[in-house]
Structure 1
Amino acid sequence: MAGGDAVAGFAAVVLAGGSARRMGGSDKPSIIVAGRSMRDRVLDAVAAADPRVVVGGSADVPDGVRYTREQPQGGGPVAAIAAGLAATGQATRELIIVAGDLPLLTTDAVTKLRTKLSTMDAALFVDQDRRRQLLCGVWRADALRRRIAELGSGVHGASMRALIEPLTVVEVEWAGADPPPWFDCDTEDDLRKVREWLTAREAAR
């Protein structure tokens, strides 16, 4: 179990295979911010999910977290999602799919997505320009399984837009002064901002 408050039928897939090309090519989700790796901060935010599955990156995952990789490796995010979904098991009805480099993701943000899903196939955050945050959303597992089956061998190398194109999506706005939960870290400046935000957030508690 992911914890005492785990929700039946709700799983999480954390995509952790990205490398920080603009930060020396390191394993980006493993970078430490405010005392914890970005990947583990994401896992904390999805603690209500059971199971939680990490796809790619370091296989050294916390107790109770499953690990897998897409086969063959390097197939892109849709292939990684397919591998993660398969690792959750058939009991999964709903799952959050997030990148492993979103250190500002919170349980409140996850809850907001889940409450907006309703009968749709997916609920995705959108930014102020209405751009969908394709790796920060909640999905219906049956719709995702169906779509992956339709793609077949084309799942390797497929784009996220190709995956989601025929699905029904509710777009979720993020209001308020807090930084958006989909903020990822691609540069050293991004890391600096995140560390400042997290320090301020924890000081305010």
Structure 2
Amino acid sequence: MSFAAIVLAGGRAVRMDGADKASVEHQGRTLLEHAVEALVDADEVVVVGDAVPTTRPVTFCRESPRHGGPVAALLTGYDALRSRPTTVGVLAVDMPRVTPWTFRRLHEAAAGRDGAFLADADGRRQLAGVLLADRLDDVRPDHEGQHGMAFRRLLDGLDLADVAPEGDEGRDVDTWADLRDL
């Protein structure tokens, strides 16, 4: 089984005054570096966002038009993969507490299903999960339908496992206060 991952790093970060979240530092490393580290088991990583230096080779790309939302970013990154994986990981760049162990747990939970995502106690899925590539192909909207599409709508109809976050791994950084509180 091959595993490739897409890091969603091209959002507007409105509540952070438009900062490039990928280059924001937490504990001496960029949020992008935290994301790339969490995906150490991936054979290939594509970052959908502006280029930021990383210690591991990744491919950078952008959705067109820019800021099309997480569905457009995921599918743009998926199309940029050099080879077709069995499973596709997706991770928002602003989740620095996600680790390789998180993705190993997600893969275990996805066994026999279409995928698995971190989900909070209320059942809201986070942008941290794995999907079977074949099933992603099955639910993929046309190019025009991708932009602005709600991520939960893309996942509707898929048999997904919800995985409870351990500790703070489900926390994301939407504001400067969130970053401080981490």
Q: Report the residue type matching 2:160 in the other structure.
A: V
Q: Report SS of the residue matched to 1:136.
A: strand
Corresponding residue for residue 201 of structure 1: none
RMSD after superposition: 1.7
Amino acid of the structure 2 residue aligned with 1:97 = V
Q: Among residues 51, 56, 66, which one is paired with 1:73 in the alignment?
A: 66
1:189 is aligned with what amino acid? Answer: A
- CA deviation map 1:37-88 (0-9, x unaligned): 0111010010110111100133545452111111222222111111111112
* Runs of at least 5 residues in structure 2 that lack an aligned partner in the other structure: none
Is 1:166 aligned to 2:154, yes or no?
no
Sequence identity (%): 37
Count of aligned pairs? 182
1:143 is aligned to 135
**Separation of aligned partners in 2, 1:63 and 1:84:** 17
Tell me whether 1:113 sits opposite 2:106 in the alignment. Answer: yes
| Residue number among 10, 19, 22 corresponding to 1:29 in the alignment | 22
Query: Would the alpha carbon gap of residues 18 and 75 (structure 1) be closer, same or farther in structure 2, given more than 3 Å must change?
Result: closer
Whether the 8 Å contact between 1:61 and 1:67 is mirrored in structure 2 is no
Deviates more, 1:123-132 or 1:42-51: 123-132
Question: TM (normalized to structure 2)?
Answer: 0.92
What residue in structure 2 maps to residue 203 of structure 1?
none
1:17 aligns with 2:5: no
Pairing 1:51-66 to 2, within 5 Å after superposition = 51-58=44-51, 60-66=53-59
CA separation of 1:168/1:45 partners in 2, compared to 1, >3 Å: closer, same or farther?
Answer: same
Give how far 1:22 is off: 2.3
* TM-score of the superposed pair, with normalisation by structure 1: 0.82
Partner deviation per Cα, 1:180-199 (whole Å, 9 max, x = no partner): x12111122211121xxxxx
Letter in 2 for 1:108: W
Provide runs of 4+ in structure 1 moved above 6 Å.
none
Structure 1 position 38 matched with structure 2 position 23: no
The answer to whether 1:183 aligns with 2:176 is no
Query: How far, CA to CA, are the matches of 1:15 and 1:62 in structure 2?
Result: 18
Contact 2:92 2:128 in 1 (8 A): yes
Counterpart check, 1:103 vs 2:96: yes
AA matched with 1:147: V
Report the Cα distance in structure 2 between the residues aligned to 1:17 and 1:114, rounded to whole angstroms. 25
8 Å Cα contact 1:52-1:65 kept in structure 2 = yes
Selected match of 2:146 from 136, 145, 155 = 155
Report what 1:3 is aligned to.
none
Q: Distance in 1 between matches of 2:9 and 2:116?
A: 21
Deviation at 1:151, TM superposition (A): 3.9
Instruction: Read off the aligned partner of 2:109 and give its amino acid letter.
Output: K
Conserved in 2, the CA contact under 8 Å of 1:18 and 1:57?
A: no
Secondary structure at the counterpart of residue 26 of structure 1: coil
Gaps of 5+ in 1: 1-7, 195-205
Give yes or no for contact 2:6–2:78 (8 Å, CA) kept in 1: yes
Of residues 76, 88, 97 in structure 1, which corresponds to 2:81? Answer: 88
In structure 2, C-alpha distance between the alignment counterparts of 1:75 and 1:20, rounded to whole Å = 13
